[in-house]
Structures are given as C-alpha cells and as structure tokens.
Chains A and B, each alone.
Chain A
Amino acid sequence: AQSVTQLDSHVSVSEGTPVLLRCNYSSSYSPSLFWYVQHPNKGLQLLLKYTSAATLVKGINGFEAEFKKSETSFHLTKPSAHMSDAAEYFCVVSVQGGGADGLTFGKGTHLIIQP
C-alpha cells in the first residue's frame, strides 16, 4: 500500500519569498508522484509529476519538485511566491503498472501568501 504525508497543514510566506511545501511518501513499488493544486471553488489542477525519469521535475507557474529516493521525499518549491499561488496543495502518489491506479492524496497544505 502507498501513502503520502504532508508535513505542514499550513504554510505562510510573504510575496516574493521562496515557497517550500514538504511531502514524504511510502510505496512498496516504483511510485509515480504528483503535486496538485486546488484553488477555492475550482477543480484540481496538475502542477507537476514524477514518473521515474529526471529526479528534478519542473511544473507550471514556476513550481518544481525533487524526487529523493533515499529520503522518500518529494518537496515542492518555488523561488518567488505570488499572490495567485494562495491555494490548497496536495501531494499525491500512484503505483505504476497494474490496472488499479487510483491516486492516494495527502491531507493537503494550505499556502497563505502575505502581501
């Protein structure tokens, strides 16, 4: 079975400063890892995904994440926060291969951007 743990339920940063959202995963098999963002009253949107290619993954809106197998981590970063980044962020794991590939979501990190 796979799982993800998002280490912070809330993160608050000032506009223009770096963002770090932390995620650790657990998986018996080679995982695919994703970060999704959910803005208020909007659907979930994929930010980026890792599927066993390059360990540093670049996504939309300047976000990137690094897969570290030794630390079982997949932290999300952005060099400079923008007000529009305020949202709920979910770290997600899925097992590659096999028919059942539903996503397992973390509990979410609420990102607050201070002006």
Chain B
Amino acid sequence: EAGVAQSPRYKIIEKRQSVAFWCNPISGHATLYWYQQILGQGPKLLIQFQNNGVVDDSQLPKDRFSAERLKGVDSTLKIQPAKLEDSAVYLCASSFGSGGHNEQFFGPGTRLTVL
C-alpha cells in the first residue's frame, strides 16, 4: 500500500515570498490533516479536512496560510507571504475515517527554510 506522498521535500525561500506544498493521501482515506513541526517541538495541527470540507482550522494563521482539498483527494497548503518563524517541517497525514481512535498515517514532510 502506497503511503502519504508529499512534495517538495525541501524548500528554501526568502521572507515575504510565497510557497505551496502538496499532499496526496493514502487511497480511500477521507480525512486529511496538515501539521507544522518547528525544530525541537512536536507537530501542531494546522487544519483538518473531511473529504473536501474543513472540519477544524482553528490553529491555522489565516492571514497568511491557506489550504484546500478541492476534489476530496489531494491537498495543497500555501503560505503567502512567508515569515522567518514559518521555518518548519510541514507534515501531511491521512486516516480512513474520523474519530480520535483512527490511526493517522504521516507523510515524510516538507522542510521549509525561510531566509
């Protein structure tokens, strides 16, 4: 079974530039999550999708971050404009259903460096 795919794996940009990350979840997984992992910390949830609808985006900095999952499969996360503090690994995860007991499967992440 193919895992969660993410691209690019690495990205270096200057502050105030824009950047986008892509995620392809495991086939058949209805729920998709984006997490931000700052160096030395645990991942923090940014947004959760159920199919193509947003379930929780309470921790997404909406003034600069946006995310979409138009057809209920792939998802993109965008930052515009980027700040130095956005340097982090951005993790995508998916699960078959919703509910806290469902296992989330994580992708390898995209490491963003903002200069």
Contact = CB atoms under 8 A, between A and B. Distances in A.
Interface in A25-63: 31-32, 42-46, 49, 51
B76 to A, nearest CB: 18
14 contacts: A32-B101, A42-B108, A46-B104, A49-B101, A51-B101, A94-B100, A96-B99, A99-B98, A100-B56, A101-B48, A102-B45, A103-B43, A104-B45, A107-B41
Contacts of A92: 42
A94 B98 CA distance: 11
Interface residues on B, range: 20 to 34
A102 B41 contact: no
Interface in B28-56: 31, 33, 35, 40-45, 48, 50, 55-56
Nearest to A6: B42
B103 interface: yes
B55 A108 contact: no
Contacts of B40: 107-108
A44 B48 CA distance: 18
A73 B55 CA distance: 29
